[in-house]
Structure 1
Amino acid sequence: MIEDWSDEVTQIQRRREHAAGLGGPDKIARQHASGRMTVRERIAALADEGSFAEIGALAGFANADGTVTPANFVAGTARVDGRKVVLGADDFTGRGGSGDAAIHAKQVYSEQLAGQFRLPLIRLLDGASGGGSVKMIERAGYSYVPVNPGWDHVVDNLSTVPVVSACLGPVVGIGAARAVMSHLCVFVAGLAQLFVAGPPVVRGGIGEDVDKEQLGGAEVHRRNGNVDRFVATEAEAFAVIRRFLSYLPSSVHELPPVTTCDDPTSRAEQTLLSAIPRNPRRPYRIAPILDAVFDTGSVFRYADYGGATVTALARLDGHPVGVVATDPYRGNTLSAAGALALTRLVDLCETFHLPIVSLTDQGGMTIGTAAERAGTLRVGARAISAVYQARVPQAELILRRVYGVGGAGIVNRHRGGRSWAWPSGDWGSLPAKGGIEAAYRAELAQSQDPEADLEAIQTRLAALTSPFRTAEHFGVQDIIDPRQSRALLCEWVHDAYRLLPAVVGSPSWGTRP
């Protein structure tokens, strides 16, 4: 009789089947009843069919009856739109993702694997992500000084590979910290909550009586910068993840992926000629302008919280770029939230070598008491510093306003970047109305007819502030027909990509969340 290892192979298969059962039928039913997929259903929905290769499926806790309770974290590699990635996903059916059912080595290994093999990392978060529990103290028989498992890899990955986190249920403690330690944090409104500590701890610690939604639901995080994109369903979250990764290289050691483009670079949209109203007080829609300039269907909105500051990824002749613009229907100045969104986009582009295009309509930093209380000056200066520190090529279309410190710093004009202005361009140290009234206050105060004198001053200065006068002194590189914008930027992006090999590799400073 030939001896072999059939019994052990059978046991391997049996253990894998048990692990696929997660926390058991009752816990799976509760997960479904809450409107959420199980961890394995999520992986199947996100990854290319049949591509998931699990790592550590046999890890778990031995029971007295000889069975094994699987660890509440599922890890492995998969392909997403053909590209290999590392997946690390919480299983809420295993004690709500808490540390009692965790084997932290699996989670740490997923982070380490992504960094060392230079693969994008996707975290599907639901629960405590293996965070601590007071029951662990009783089990161990002693307390301990907290350590965030594998946090060195978590930090290093931000400067190495694209990291995406999806909040798909209540995300708390170390799970919440991992959510914001990413280049893109996606949040399913209505299903997810995000908080440092849950309602029972908050109630016992500070006496605040709130439920999960009041403590960390979508409305809590809409504008605070913790979450980049809000979606309505898990399927939509997975679609956002796929699309976001399509713009980025697998690691900082590669160039962004260039795709075949069927959209003619010579496309000149007639609508651009009238996109900016002649009345400077009238707003305009930014989305049609973005669609007219960048490759059809390529504009991907980045931060949902930026207010008037629009950040996006897009393509020019198939080449990924970062985009900064303004939504005049929400204002035209750089707020604290807008500065945070700008910093995040620029740091993303610098880390993964995407050139930056600014469609500039920047009325300076937001003013007033609310803006001062929000610390707009410091976060605005930080955003401008990010722009100036970025080594990637930058280009600019000046659509309308360029005012003050905010306008001056929206791109680095001290570099040899390419810049074009539309005839609607309007610039200066201050907006004309406020600037005139400030500069000529004494003269107007002594005037017999201040309204007539103010109108005369405005008429006199209007001739001097014509964009053509600025162009005559080479204060702006070129004033163009807006319909030429796409063709000029598409030609520029090829030059920009020739320069990118010089910045491939780790960013000049460590990327921070």
Structure 2
Amino acid sequence: MAGDDPPSSGSEDASKPSSSTAKDRLAQVSNHVAPNTPKRRRKRDADSELPADYSDILGQIATLRKIAATPDTNNRGYVRQKQAGKLWVRERVEALLDPGSFQEVGSVSGTVSWKQLGPTKEEPEDYVPSNNVQGFGRLRGRKIVFTADDFSIRAGHADGALMDKTVYMEKLSIALKLPIVKLVDGSSGGGSVTTIRSTGFSYVPPLPSFAQAVQQLNMGIPNLGAVLGPAIGFGAARVVACHFSVMAADIGSLFNAGPNVVKNATFEEGLSFTDLGGPSMHCTNGTIDNLAPDEAGCFEQMRTVLSYLPDCGTKLPPFIECSDPIDRASETLRSVIPRARNRMYKPRSIIAEVVDKGSFFEIGSLWGTTAIVGLARFGGRPAGIVSLNCEVNAGALDALGSQKITRMLKFLDVFNIPLVQFVDVPGYAIGTIAERTATMRHGVTLATTYYSTTMPIFSVIVRRVYGVAGGVMLDCRDPRMRVAWPSGVWGSLPLEGGIEVGHSFELKEIERRDGKEKREERYKELENEYRRLMNPVRTANKFGIEEIIDPAFTRRVCVEWVSHVYEALLPARILERVAGKLKPSFA
């Protein structure tokens, strides 16, 4: 059959060229994919010898950090630090911050001498850290930024990195809205004549970080400073500018320039740091707010102050749980004000009875002693305290007392803290000393501050309210929020002296006509009449005082007011600050 015939030889010959061509093409492709040429070994460069995990760089960092964290006990600066009874800078950081919360910024900044080990390899041979330790940490759980001077290195004077680090931390405080703590020991980066020698030129003094400091102060970002050694020049300015400052009694001092400079300028020789600007100088004139016995005391005071303050002015002050009953009555307050008007009492005992137990923290107790100011809590909510001190100058408000209250009002305003004041003011101080110290000038500054600040104010009149000073304290808010105790007396002038002025002609005529005895009888009649008319109930009858309360229930009244302020008024105030409508000023 035709279909059974075998294929012809012609078709077999036709398939051979096709198969050969395919093999050639396959070989050609194979040569392209894997050419049959010897492999060339790549030359090894210096980078190829470096570890892939960057352990060399990490090792250098670890070495520098270890050097910085290990004190050189043979270094004369470290020896001097210890001989002066001061903590080393990193010991201070550990003592200040909550355990384990320290996060350093600029941990390897400083001056390094490098030893070359190869074309690209090197290792640190010598390292002098920057003389300022800075970073993040926590105080009683509150996150902060901080700067801490290292007086053992160049006495805290400027080095290549210190000012850059300081400015950076000041800017971080603003950007992150975090409180900043400044531990000052030295000049905090201020100048030294040796800088001229190292740089080869002199310079016009800059002040690069002060603009940020002023911004922080007015933003209500807490600035807390401690003097833990000699605070000199720029270091002194940094701590004095803070919202709150404290000095260690055993080691602290503060001055514009040291004894050697003073000797050449004013010819005052033989001055020690303490003579020039120790605690007895600056904790009594208002330069520094508070005095602490030692460094640990400074740290504790800063923790305490921060516990009353928000992180910034666009937040509410922190609330803590209160175990002290809101309606706790204090019957001792009914008799704390003596009926004899010339007898004194202890104003701090009134504060302690009204506020949450143990919550009063006084600021500036050693200066401006005619006034008492501080922070306290009512039902767990922070409030400012202002009281006049009848135990000093009979409570008459002098120049320093006015300055102290002025500073406190700005402090409270910038932190959104309401004020409770206990008023017993016979007026501004009088006499030649009062005039010489510009009492009226500082009194008017106080008055303008009362009227230009906007934080809520509640007043408790415990005794006297006289003259311009009394009017300023009580009439600075509309409507007035105030109550009086039954012991309250008020008027344009104290009765003692006021009768002499108002009835001068009458009394003189009686004495001329009938003798001194008759004059005294008439004076007594007038005094009794005026005292009867000055019954505080008569003032309340005319609504000259809104309410007279039982002193025993003062705490309840104050707590209710503070609670309402926090619930109803402060949230709206915060919104105004966020929107930029309200801009309190501290600096």
- TM-score (norm. length: structure 2): 0.85
Question: Aligned to 1:456, which of 522, 525, 550?
Answer: 525
Question: Aligned to 2:497, which of 414, 423, 434?
Answer: 434
Counterpart of 2:427 in structure 1 is 364
- Show the 5 A alignment for 1:135-214: 135-160=194-219, 161-209=221-269, 210-214=271-275
Superposition deviation, residue 414 in structure 1: 4.1
- Show the 5 A alignment for 1:77-476: 77-100=136-159, 103-160=162-219, 161-209=221-269, 210-304=271-365, 305-330=367-392, 331-447=394-510, 448=514, 449-476=518-545
In structure 1, stretches of 5+ residues that fail to align are none
Counterpart of 2:67 in structure 1 is 18
- Whether the 8 Å contact between 1:388 and 1:411 is mirrored in structure 2 is no
- Whether the 8 Å contact between 2:327 and 2:556 is mirrored in structure 1 is yes
Superposition deviation, residue 22 in structure 1: 5.2
Greater shift in the superposed pair: 215-224 or 269-278: 215-224
Counterpart residue identity of residue 192, structure 1: G
Is 2:546 aligned against 1:484? no
Q: Following the alignment from structure 1 to structure 2, what is the Cα–Cα distance between the partners of residues 490 and 417?
A: 17
Counterpart of 2:83 in structure 1 is 33
1:283-338 Cα offsets, whole Å, 9 max, x none, are 11122211110001110001221212000100110110001012221131111111
Counterpart of 1:510 in structure 2 is 585
Relative to structure 1, the CA distance from residue 9 to residue 413 in structure 2 (aligned partners, 3 Å threshold; closer, same or farther) is closer
Q: Following the alignment from structure 2 to structure 1, what is the Cα–Cα distance between the partners of residues 561 and 162?
A: 50
Counterpart residue identity of residue 214, structure 2: V
Match of 1:395, SS state, is strand
In structure 2, stretches of 5+ residues that fail to align are 1-48, 116-124
Percent identity, aligned pairs only? 39
Q: Following the alignment from structure 1 to structure 2, what is the Cα–Cα distance between the partners of residues 61 and 454?
A: 82
Match of 1:337, SS state, is helix
Match of 1:477, SS state, is coil
- TM-score (norm. length: structure 1): 0.97
Superposition deviation, residue 509 in structure 1: 4.2
Counterpart residue identity of residue 7, structure 1: D
Question: Aligned to 1:494, which of 563, 566, 569?
Answer: 563
Q: Following the alignment from structure 1 to structure 2, what is the Cα–Cα distance between the partners of residues 412 and 254?
A: 28
Counterpart residue identity of residue 189, structure 2: G
- Whether the 8 Å contact between 1:471 and 1:478 is mirrored in structure 2 is yes
1:252-283 Cα offsets, whole Å, 9 max, x none, are 01000111111111000111111111111111
Greater shift in the superposed pair: 103-112 or 60-69: 60-69
Runs ≥4 in structure 1, deviation > 6 angstroms?
none
Q: Following the alignment from structure 1 to structure 2, what is the Cα–Cα distance between the partners of residues 410 and 97?
A: 44
- Whether the 8 Å contact between 1:387 and 1:411 is mirrored in structure 2 is no
Q: Following the alignment from structure 2 to structure 1, what is the Cα–Cα distance between the partners of residues 477 and 276?
A: 45
Superposition deviation, residue 94 in structure 1: 0.7
Give the RMSD, CA atoms, in angstroms. Answer: 1.5
Q: Following the alignment from structure 1 to structure 2, what is the Cα–Cα distance between the partners of residues 322 and 469?
A: 31
1:66-85 Cα offsets, whole Å, 9 max, x none, are 32210101100101000000
Superposition deviation, residue 374 in structure 1: 0.6
Counterpart residue identity of residue 356, structure 2: D
Counterpart residue identity of residue 387, structure 2: A
- Whether the 8 Å contact between 1:123 and 1:164 is mirrored in structure 2 is yes
Greater shift in the superposed pair: 25-34 or 364-373: 25-34
- Show the 5 A alignment for 1:38-57: 38-57=88-107
Larger Rg computed on CA atoms: 2
Superposition deviation, residue 391 in structure 1: 1.1
Relative to structure 1, the CA distance from residue 25 to residue 471 in structure 2 (aligned partners, 3 Å threshold; closer, same or farther) is farther
1:24-53 Cα offsets, whole Å, 9 max, x none, are 543323212211111111111111001010
